[in-house]
Chain A
Amino acid sequence: MTGAFAEIAGLTLRHIGRRAPALRDLSLRWERGERLLLLGPSGSGKSTLALLLDGVIPHAVEAHWESGSVTVDGTETRAAGLASLSSTVGVVFQDPETQLVMLEIDDEIAFGLENHAVPRAAMAARIAAARAETGLDGVDLPIARLSGGTKQRVALAAILALRPAGLILDEPTANLDPAGTREVLHAVARLVGDRERSLLLIEHRLDDVLPFTDRVAVLDGDGRLAFSGTPREAFVDHMARLEALGVWIPQLRRLAALLGTDALPRDAAEAAELIVAGWPAGTMGTVDARAAAAPVVRADAVGYRYPGALRPALDGVSLHMARGELVAIVGANGAGKSTLGLVLAGALPPTAGTVHRDGQVAYVFQYPEHQFVSRTVAGELRVTLRARGLGADEVERATESLLDRAGLRALGEANPFTLSHGQKRRLSVTTALAADPDVLVLDEPTFGQDEHNTELLLATLEELRSDGRAIVAITHDQGLVADHATRVVALDGGTVAFDGPPGELFASDELLARCSLRRPPIAEAFRLAHARRPDVPSLVGLAAVRAALRQ
């Protein structure tokens, strides 16, 4: 157990067709058996690093290798072959749909073994072992019928069957619902407990992965190494610096900081200790005492059945949205969340029941590219402004002011498809605002956004809400629900399982299980603390903690 498992020395690498390097003068050691957490804002080169370490760059994907070297398991990757590299380091990617090749689980696990010419006689045992390690024993459905979390475990099993000495997980839970996330992270935690493999993890759900993180490395927006150290050094000693870089901080660490300690709680139980010890006596949760406004959208017994579908996607849904509310719609994948959003927005006509709208409803799709209809950024805004019936002068004036507001003025003539992830999201939200909506429905608004862009977006939503608009966010982001939602609607199998304040939803184990949800770490910590010290309120998110402590 001596020496680095992988060592990157002075590496500068530029992707073909790009002017700026993806990684700049990067030096980083990944020790043998070490569990390394890699952080960085979007576009900082994290995924590039993953592809470098398993040899895909430069052996299958070319790039301009400007300087430096990458050594894995004692061999320079440029000199080694992809065949040996790809069995030394295995990568699980973000999206299960674009890494699974086969139709059946065993074929999928065997695919890598076949490529590495493992004899057929040895395959059955390795497939069985990989299934056991990922909890897939006895799962025999075709891959197309598995949930996202289970598909991702198949991807993990397929990598483990190759028995790699190093395992890289590149945002393995980004595309999953909360239950799928828990499923995958449990499997990972079990795998890396014994440090038999070296682990490089790219993940922003930090509270879940902190218990098995040995060291944290942070890349900055230019692909340089900005920081490397223990989790404590990263999130306690250098918290402000990491925040400035736009990377996520564990929620429980933020809670500890609010309580005035320099602790780094590893789980909700440790955080609960801090609350029990340090919660100021007599500090209660604040209550949002605003009177409910008149509903601006109301659904009465709404049902929707897609053409040719056996079961309705929505069945007997009754609810309303009022001005000044931020309503989160949550539930498992396939529970009918997006369908409900589209029906509320009038994009899909309900096949049963009625929807009353007392104003304009705009809809922002999960993937901004899907709704681009123009060749320029400014053109996107003009399309919507013209549809509102504004005159030519007004359209130009409104376009300018919206571009300013979104921070996209310099990009007015750029093609929307060439924008960065965060810019695309800002543009899609701004085009919806161009319609001057009374209700804004957003599908997974924080998906794939880094901390900085998420903060910007949430600030915009809060502002729109206090302007008296209603915001409806369809989301798997439990942090958004806990910190920003005034009300939450949980769907289960196309029906409303819960409609009320987030605190009530997060208090019920039964509801959480039924709707494939998880209790956010802050809510869990306060629940544990409340059980031991009844005067501690049952708060659900950091926003509530801040408000309570401000009193």
Chain B
Amino acid sequence: MRRSRLSLLVARRDPAVKLGVALLLSLVLVLVIDPVTPLLFIAAASIAAVALGGLSAGAFARTLLPLAVVALGFVWTNAVFAVPAPDDTVWRVGPFAASASGLRFGVGIGLRGLAIGAVSLAAVRTSDPTRLVVSLIRNARLSYRIGYAVLAAYRFFPIVGEEYARIRLAQRVRGVRPTSVRARAAAAVGGIVPLFADATRRATRIAVAMDARGFASARERTYWRATPVTAGDWLFALSCLLVAAAILGAGLAGGWLRLWNGRFSA
């Protein structure tokens, strides 16, 4: 599938700049507690990731899914456990009573978390992983030792998952067929021992292979990937901040913008 220039507008920007912008926007979002502003940020991040970043809508939604689950948890805890004002109960389920103020606060805080996640993931998921790491090393002073270790680990994640499945299968074949919850937990832990032995051996081997190519002994490094921060990147950062300002301005004008006042209830 060929992508149009427009759909790669965000993907082509420098990953470190994107991550920096996401960090700035997250700092702003931390202070927002109304539900509308984060929704607008989520919408803007989705447009950036999908329409301008070349990600499929489904892939971006799947990335956000775990965060959405956590956000729902926030809503629940705040609705039920926030100190209720008298006569504020909206509904009851068994022993749990949700207060309207708690619910409002929970929805605000949940969406805020989701918005921070959406903005950050839009930055990360529209970036080539190698370019992201190299740009962070060169433009954001990330230690190259950490950066390359992260890249090597990135290759390992799918392998570790497959390995664990294979070990559990092998142990089931050996007749480890737990019936109780407790035995099942013990079997799950039992699978981790060989997995850990494997992971250690792999990590040692790859460290040796990296050293054999001069990684540890490098006094100065050069880089194959060119990762210059261009005028286009600064223009992109500025545009993002302008969009953020517009969203906040709209909230101020429309009267729905509410900022955290330093207390832990509405």
Give chain A's interface residues, CB within 8 Å of chain B: 51, 54, 56, 59-61, 81-83, 86-87, 90-91, 93, 95, 97-104, 106-107, 110-120, 123, 127, 143-144, 158-159, 162, 342, 345, 347-348, 363, 365, 367, 369-373, 383-384, 387, 417, 431
Contact = CB atoms under 8 A, between A and B. Distances in A.
A123 B221 CA distance: 13
Given A106-B224, A113-B224, A120-B224, A83 B194 contact: no
A111 B130 CA distance: 12
B126 to A, nearest CB: 16
Contacts of A117: 218-222
The interface residues of chain A, by DSSP majority, are classed as helix
B197 A369 contact: yes
Given A103-B129, A363-B173, 9 more contacts: A86-B212, A93-B209, A101-B151, A103-B130, A115-B217, A117-B221, A120-B226, A123-B224, A373-B190
A83 B217 contact: yes
Given A56-B212, A115-B221, A371 B174 contact: yes
B222 A119 contact: yes
Query: Which 5 residue pairs across A and B have the least CB separation, nearest first?
Result: A110-B224, A99-B209, A115-B214, A82-B217, A60-B211
A83 B214 contact: yes
Give the most central of A99, A119, A143: most B CB within 10 Å.
Answer: A99
A115 B217 CA distance: 8
Nearest to B172: A347
A91 B190 CA distance: 36
Interface stretch (B9-17, B58-66, B117-125, B162-170): B162-170
Contacts of A118: 222
Interface residues of B, number: 46
Nearest to A306: B165
B154 interface: yes
A18 to B, nearest CB: 15
Interface stretch (B40-48, B200-208, B254-262): B200-208
Contacts, number: 148
B202 A82 contact: no
A91 B212 contact: yes
Contacts of B129: 103
Contact of A56 (B171, B211, B222): B211
B198 A114 contact: no
A16 to B, nearest CB: 12
B174 A86 contact: no
B172 A99 contact: no
Contact of B175 (A61, A369, A387): A387
Given A119-B222, A384-B175, A104 B130 contact: yes
Contacts of B218: 83, 114-117
A101 B152 contact: yes
Interface string B215-239: 1111111111110000000000000
A408 B186 CA distance: 28
Contact of B167 (A51, A101, A345, A370): A370
Contacts of A110: 224
Given A97-B202, A342-B169, A384 B174 contact: yes
Given A98-B202, A107-B225, A123-B224, A417 B212 contact: no
Contacts of B223: 114, 120
Contacts of A113: 222, 224
Task: Count chain B CB atoms within 10 A of each CB in A87, A345, A365 and give the residue with the most.
Answer: A365
A53 to B, nearest CB: 10
Nearest to B206: A98
A98 B172 CA distance: 27
A143 B202 CA distance: 18
B76 interface: no
B176 A373 contact: yes
A82 B216 CA distance: 8
A116 B171 CA distance: 45
Given A101-B148, A116-B218, A144-B155, A371 B210 contact: no
B173 A371 contact: yes
